[in-house]
Structure 1
Amino acid sequence: MNVSGIPQTVHFCYPSVNNSCRKQVLPLQNHIVLYTVLWTTVAVTVFGNLLVIISIAHFRQLHTPTNCLVLSLAVTDFLLGGIVMPPISVQLVETCWYLGDIYCKVYLGAVIMLCTASVSHLSFISIDRYFAVCHPLTYKTKITVPVTLNLILFCWTLSAVVGFGIIFLELNLKGIEDVYQKVKCVGSCILMQNEASGLVSSLFSFYIPGFVMVCIYLKIFAVARRQARSIRDLGHQNQSAEEKKKLASRKRETKAAKTLAIVLGVFLICWSPFFLCNVINPLTNHNAPQFVIETLAFIGYMNSTFNPLVYGFFYSWFRKALKLIANGKIFQNDSSRTKLFSD
C-alpha cells in the first residue's frame, strides 16, 4: 500500500514461478538513460581494450616483456567488458537475473578470476618496472619474454583455479547457508561471502597486493628522481651517441613506470569501495542492499574502461598505433615493422 492508499502492483522476475524475486519497474525514460550509459561503457571497454590488444600484437617494436604483460592485462579487461559487464548492466536496470543458475556460477567465477588476474598482472608489471628503473643493467637478462610468458601462464592458471574453485565448491558459503537461502530467490545472482571468505579474499586480492605495489612504485620514483638529477648533470657535458641513446631509453622506462603507476592508481580508486563493502557486509549480517553491491561492483569493472584511456593519453606509441589502425595501414606489407618510437 502506498501513501495515497492505492495498492501498488507487485512485479516479479518470473511471475509464474514460486519464490521469484521481486522486480523493480523503472519509468521508460530511466530505462533509456541507464541502458545508454551502461552499454556505452561496455562498448568503450570492449573496443578500447581490443585496440590495445591489436596494437601490441601487431607492431613488432612493442613485443617487449612489459608490453606482454600489458597485452595480457588488456585481454583481462576485454573479457571483463565482454563477459561480465553486459549481464550486470541488465541486472542493474531490470533488477533481475535472466540467465539461469549455471551461468550465474560461471559469471561469478569469471568475476573473481578476472579480478584476481588484474591484481596479478599489475603486481608483475610493478616488479618489471622495478627492475627496469632500479636495476637497468641486469633488467634484460632477468626479465625476458619467455620469463614473462611463464608469469602470464601462472597468473591465468592461478586466477582460474581461485575464481571457479571458490564458486563451484561453494567455499564462500560455508557457515552461512541459512542466510543465503533466505535471500536467494529465482531471478537473482548473488556473490555472498562468509566473514572469513570476505576478509581473506579482500586481503589477498586487493589490500596486500595494493599496498606492496604502492611501496614498489614509491621506491621506483625515488630512484627515478635520482636518475633525473644525474641526467640533468650529464646534459651539460658532451655526450656520445651511445650515451644519448642510453639516456633516452632510461627516460622512456621512467615514463612507462609513471604511466603504469597511474593505471595502478585507477585500479585502487575503482575497486576500493567494493572491497571495503566486501569486508564490512559479512560483519553486518549482509545488510547492504544488493543494488548497492552491484553498483559498487560495476564501478570496479569500470577500471577496465579507464585503462585504454590512460594508454591513449600518456603513450605516444598507442596514439600512433591508433592512427595506423584507423587508416587501415596495418593491412599493408611490413606494417608490423613500423617504428612507433625511436630506439
Structure 2
Amino acid sequence: MDLKTSGQTYLENANQTHLCLLSNSSCSEKITSYELYLFLYLCVAVLVVITACGNLLVIVSVCHFKQFQTPTNFLILSLAFSDFLVGVFVMPFRFIMLIESCWLFGAVFCVVFNLFVFHLTCVSVYNVSLIAVERYMALNNPFLYSLKATVNVSLIAVSLTWAVSFFYNFVLLYVNGNFSDVNTCSGDCVVSIGDVSAFFDLVVVFILPCATMMILYVKVFAIARKHAIAIRTNIKNKRKKDVQSSDSMTSERKAAKVLGILVSVFLVCLVPYYICSLFLGIIKSKFYYSLTINMLALFYLNSTINPMIYALFHPSFQKSMKLILTCKIFSKDSSIITVLSRTR
C-alpha cells in the first residue's frame, strides 16, 4: 500500500468514526453550559491527580523504607498499585465517557480498556480480601502467623492474584465474544456477558471475597475485644512482662482497626454497584443504566479514599509521607530511618 492509499484509508476511517458519533444519539447529549463543562473536567483532573499522587506516596513508602517491608505492607502495596492504575488509566477515560455521554477513543482501545477495568476491579477486591485474611491470622494465632506469614509468602500471594485475575478476566471477555465482535460504529464502550457468565463472575468477584471479608472482620473485632480486656487486666496487675505483651496486642489491634476501616469503606463503595447490576437485566431503563454506571464511578472513588485512610489513621504512614514530601528520602541512608511508631 502506497502513501496516498494509506492516507486515503486513514481519512475514510476517521470520517466513518465521525459519522458514527454523529449518528449515535447518546453522543449528542452533551452538556450545553460551557462553565459546567469546564468545571466537570477540572474536577476529573483534580480527582485523577489526587488518586495518582496519594497512591504513589504509599507505593514509595513501602518500596523505600525498610521497616515498611512486611507481609502486611506488601499486600497494601499491591492494593495501592492497583488503585494507582485505576487513577491513571481507568478514571480519566471513564469520567470523560460520563461527561461526553459516549465513547470517543475507538473500538480497539475500548476492548483493552474493558479488560483492564475488569482485571483491576478483581485485583482490588482480592487484595482487600487477602488483607482481611492476613489480619485474622495475625490476631487469631500470632505464633503460627510469625512462622508462616513471611515476605516471600506475601509476594507469592500478590503475584498469583495479579496473574490469575488477568487470565480469568481475559477468558471471561474472550468467551463472551468481546474481542471478536467489536462494533466500530457504536459510539459506546460496553461489555457483553451472558447470564451464566455474569452470575459466575458475580460469585467469584463479589459474593465470595466480600463474604470472606465480612466474616473474618467480625472475628477480628471479636478477638480485638478480647485483647482489649486482656490489656486492661494486665495494666491493673502491672506485670512488666505482661505489659510488654500488651504493647504488642495494642499494636496489632490498632493495625486491625485501620485495616478494618479500609475494608468497611471498600464495601461501602463496592456494594451499591453490584446491587444495581443485579437488577440491570430486569429494570431495563436508560435512567437505571445511568445510575448503575454512576455507582461504578463510586467504586473508582475508593481508589482515591484508600491513601487518605492511611494518612489519617496510620501514624507511621503519616511520618513516611512527610519524609517523602520534604524530599528527605534522597538523603543518605534514608531507607533505614525509623518510621514505625510503637502503636501503629
CA contact (8 A) 2:65 2:334 kept: yes
CA contact (8 A) 1:111 1:163 kept: no
- 2:100 maps to 1:100: no
Equivalence for 1:9: none
The one-letter code matched in structure 1 to 2:310 is Y
Equivalence for 1:169: 175
CA–CA distance in 1 between the matches of 2:178 and 2:291?
20
Normalization by structure 2: what TM-score?
0.87
Provide Cα deviations, 1:74-131, integer angstroms capped at 9, x if missing partner: 0010011111111011111111212111111111111111111111111111111011
In structure 2, list runs of 5 or more residues that go unmatched. 1-15
Equivalence for 2:11: none
Equivalence for 2:30: 25
CA–CA distance in 2 between the matches of 1:192 and 1:293?
16
- The alignment partner of 1:140 has SS state of helix
CA–CA distance in 2 between the matches of 1:78 and 1:281?
29
- After TM superposition, the structure 1 stretch with the greater mean CA deviation from structure 2, 164-173 or 304-313, is 164-173
CA–CA distance in 2 between the matches of 1:286 and 1:272?
21
CA–CA distance in 1 between the matches of 2:18 and 2:110?
20
Equivalence for 1:212: 212
Equivalence for 2:256: 257
The one-letter code matched in structure 2 to 1:25 is K
CA–CA distance in 2 between the matches of 1:255 and 1:239?
22
- 2:238 maps to 1:238: yes
Give, in angstroms, the shift of residue 264 of structure 1.
Answer: 1.1
Count of paired positions: 325
- 2:197 maps to 1:197: yes
The one-letter code matched in structure 2 to 1:35 is Y
Provide Cα deviations, 1:233-260, integer angstroms capped at 9, x if missing partner: 11122333x5444322221111111111
Supply the RMSD in Å over aligned alpha carbons: 2.5
- 2:15 maps to 1:16: no
- After TM superposition, the structure 1 stretch with the greater mean CA deviation from structure 2, 324-333 or 189-198, is 189-198
Distance 1:280 1:321, change over 3 A: same
Equivalence for 1:53: 59
- 2:40 maps to 1:34: yes
CA–CA distance in 2 between the matches of 1:122 and 1:76?
11
Give, in angstroms, the shift of residue 31 of structure 1.
Answer: 0.6
Give, in angstroms, the shift of residue 286 of structure 1.
Answer: 7.1
Tell me which protein shows more helix as a share of its residues: 2
Normalization by structure 1: what TM-score?
0.88
Write the mapping of 1:309-328 to structure 2, written as runs, cut at 5 A: 309-328=308-327
Distance 1:17 1:123, change over 3 A: closer
The one-letter code matched in structure 1 to 2:94 is I
Equivalence for 1:3: none
Percent sequence identity over aligned pairs: 33
Equivalence for 2:89: 83
